[in-house]
């Protein structure tokens, strides 16, 4: 029998040989491939009503999904019809058609979409009902007039797919339009800084938050977004710096391009991140006053409902929304093969040759994504996810999806019990307490 080393498996050998040939580390899109196990939302199950609690009737009894963000300081908090929002994805990483379809789909669903590195796209603003404007360390495309048109400002400290590092846009996507928007040369790789140039830590971040509030006349909420790392302390510092809304993006968070090792070996998984974030807000007495948005690997209404039961007020989706736009769909198969991928196995957003027109600036490929069709599919996904959350909430006897709570769930593994502080199924014990 041929024996394989448990340590130097075929994939490991291939990767060492690739490095030996090129002298380069691997870069890819899409987020972690999760080749090893860690606790996720799958390790929890809901405990619907039977005799101890009374469920609500699906067709007759209301279950509200209205979501309000930014009640702490903003004169005009954000009001959404649903708790699922479209996360910030850069125009540059995404095509114009993808950005516009996401904005349109979110608006049809009564939700929001977010700009990204590289600034705001006019078509995106025009199609949005509620637009969050990201302020990133790179400052690419940043424009005070665009910012003043936004319904919320997101000061981005980091992302789940690459915490502690900056953004990356490979030269293949730096078309003349994108280069012009970012004021950089065409076709050259862009590496964004890891830190904001005008503040270093929480003390001077207070000044930045105030500056953004002043620039927008205190009208709109200021979000602070971070990759999940030392969540318990980072969330407290962001809240103390004056954030109205805190976004925590877990290790499963998507990206268009990031070193593979950062995706697989840095940050906290989303399940752990939401639990730590809630504890942090409770610890300083602002849970409920500062709203919490969770992102990173959210696939459906079940993941979203579990994150909400653990403490999130709303959920950001990125990759799932791209999948709604046909990412990884079995079409144009020759073009998938040309970039070394195949439908269902593609994580090649960094190549700039997305076969379905989402993560590309190539005009021919971009045309493959029809904006209206894409918007309809995003709307349908947001609608279906919201119906799933409502179904679970009603089954747990809740007339508002925001009333879901940890008590509505049991843990299926000792790890999840310990992380979430929820009793292990079949026991009355929280593991480790």
Q: Which residues contact ligand FMN (rule: CB under 6 A)?
A: 31, 87-90, 93-94, 116-117, 134, 156, 159-160, 225, 249, 252-256, 295-298, 316-320, 349, 359
Q: Are strands 168-169 and 190-191 parallel, antiparallel or unpaired?
A: antiparallel
Region near ligand SF4 per CB under 6 A, out of 6-14, 17-25, 77-85, 346-354: 346-354
Single residue of 30, 140, 199, 287 touching ligand SF4 by CB under 6 A:
30
Single residue of 271, 358, 371, 375 touching ligand SF4 by CB under 6 A:
358
The residues near 148 (Cβ < 8 Å, ≥ 6 apart) are 215, 216
- Using the structure block, give the residue that is written with the tokens 């603003």: 125
Region near ligand SF4 per CB under 6 A, out of 32-40, 215-223, 306-314, 352-360: 352-360
Tell me how many degrees the CA angle 365-366-368 measures, rounded to the nearest 5. 75
Q: Which is nearer to ligand FMN, 224 or 396 (CB)?
A: 224
Q: Which is nearer to ligand SF4, 290 or 354 (CB)?
A: 354
Q: Whose CA is closest to 81, among 382, 393, 294, 397?
A: 382
Region near ligand SF4 per CB under 6 A, out of 196-204, 298-306, 345-353, 383-391: 345-353
Residue 174 as a binder of ligand SF4 (CB under 6 A): the answer is no
Q: Whose CA is closest to 253, among 227, 292, 276?
A: 227
Q: Least distance in Å: CB of 323 to ligand SF4?
A: 7
Q: Which is nearer to ligand SF4, 100 or 417 (CB)?
A: 100
CB neighbours of residue 42 within 10 Å: 14
Alpha carbon distances (Å) from 403 to 40, 169, 311: 22, 40, 10
Is residue 168 within 8 A of residue 92, CB to CB? The reply is no
- Phi and psi (nearest 5°) for 98? -65, -45
The residues near 221 (Cβ < 8 Å, ≥ 6 apart) are 69, 70, 72, 73, 74, 77, 78, 152, 153, 244, 245
Single residue of 328, 361, 390, 417 touching ligand SF4 by CB under 6 A:
328
Max CA distance (Å), the chain:
72
Is residue 136 within 8 A of residue 156, CB to CB? The reply is yes
Alpha carbon distances (Å) from 237 to 224, 231, 242, 379: 10, 10, 9, 35
Which of ligand SF4, ligand FMN, none interacts with 347 (beta carbon under 5 to 8 A by kind)? ligand SF4
Q: Which is nearer to ligand FMN, 77 or 297 (CB)?
A: 297
Is residue 295 within 8 A of residue 87, CB to CB? The reply is yes
Q: Least distance in Å: CB of 281 to ligand FMN?
A: 19
Q: SS3 sequence, 31-54?
A: CCCCCCCCCCHHHEEECCCCCCCC
Which of ligand FMN, ligand SF4, none interacts with 328 (beta carbon under 5 to 8 A by kind)? ligand SF4
Which of ligand SF4, ligand FMN, none interacts with 159 (beta carbon under 5 to 8 A by kind)? ligand FMN
Which of ligand SF4, ligand FMN, none interacts with 348 (beta carbon under 5 to 8 A by kind)? ligand SF4
Q: Least distance in Å: CB of 366 to ligand SF4?
A: 11
Single residue of 327, 389, 392, 410 touching ligand SF4 by CB under 6 A:
327
Q: Which is nearer to ligand FMN, 341 or 396 (CB)?
A: 341
- Interacting residue ranges for ligand SF4, rule: CB under 6 A: 29-30, 322, 327-328, 346-349, 354-356, 358-359
């Amino acid at each position: 029998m041929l024996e394989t080393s448990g340590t130097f498996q075929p994939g490991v050998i291939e990767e060492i040989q690739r490095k030996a040939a090129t002298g380069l580390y691997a870069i890819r899109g899409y987020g972690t491939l999760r080749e090893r196990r860690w606790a996720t939302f799958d390790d929890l199950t809901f405990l619907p009503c039977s005799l101890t609690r009374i469920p609500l009737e699906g067709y007759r009894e209301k279950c509200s999904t209205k979501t309000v963000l930014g009640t702490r300081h903003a004169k005009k908090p954000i009001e959404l019809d649903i708790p699922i929002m479209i996360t910030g994805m850069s125009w540059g990483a995404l095509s114009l058609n993808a950005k516009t379809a996401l904005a349109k789909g979110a608006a049809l669903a009564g939700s929001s979409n977010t700009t990204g590195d590289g600034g705001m796209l006019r078509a995106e603003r025009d199609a949005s009902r509620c637009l969050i404007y990201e302020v990133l360390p790179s400052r690419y495309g940043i424009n005070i007039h665009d910012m003043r048109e936004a319904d919320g400002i997101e000061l981005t400290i980091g992302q789940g797919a690459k915490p502690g590092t900056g953004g990356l846009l490979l030269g293949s996507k730096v078309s003349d339009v994108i280069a012009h928007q970012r004021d950089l040369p065409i076709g050259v790789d862009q590496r964004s800084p890891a830190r904001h140039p005008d503040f270093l830590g929480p003390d001077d971040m207070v000044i930045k938050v105030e500056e953004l509030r002043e620039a927008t006349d205190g009208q709109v909420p200021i979000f602070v977004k971070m990759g999940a790392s030392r969540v318990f302390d980072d969330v407290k510092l962001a809240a103390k710096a004056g954030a109205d809304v805190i976004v925590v993006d877990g290790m499963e968070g998507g990206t268009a391009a990031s070193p593979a090792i950062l995706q697989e070996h840095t940050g906290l998984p989303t399940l752990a991140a939401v639990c730590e974030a809630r504890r942090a807000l409770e610890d300083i007495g602002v849970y409920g006053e500062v709203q919490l948005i969770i992102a990173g690997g959210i696939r459906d209404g079940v993941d979203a409902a579990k994150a909400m039961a653990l403490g999130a007020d709303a959920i950001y989706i990125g990759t799932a929304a791209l999948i709604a736009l046909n990412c990884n769909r079995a079409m144009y198969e020759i073009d998938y093969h040309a970039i070394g991928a195949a439908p269902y196995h593609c994580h090649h957003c960094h190549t700039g040759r997305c076969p379905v027109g989402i993560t590309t600036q190539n005009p021919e490929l971009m045309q493959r994504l029809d904006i209206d069709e894409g918007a309809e599919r995003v709307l349908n996904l947001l609608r279906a996810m919201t119906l799933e959350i409502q179904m679970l909430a009603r089954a747990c006897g809740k007339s508002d999806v925001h009333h879901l709570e940890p008590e509505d769930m049991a843990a299926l593994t000792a790890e999840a019990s310990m992380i979430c502080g929820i009793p292990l199924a079949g026991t009355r014990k929280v593991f480790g307490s």
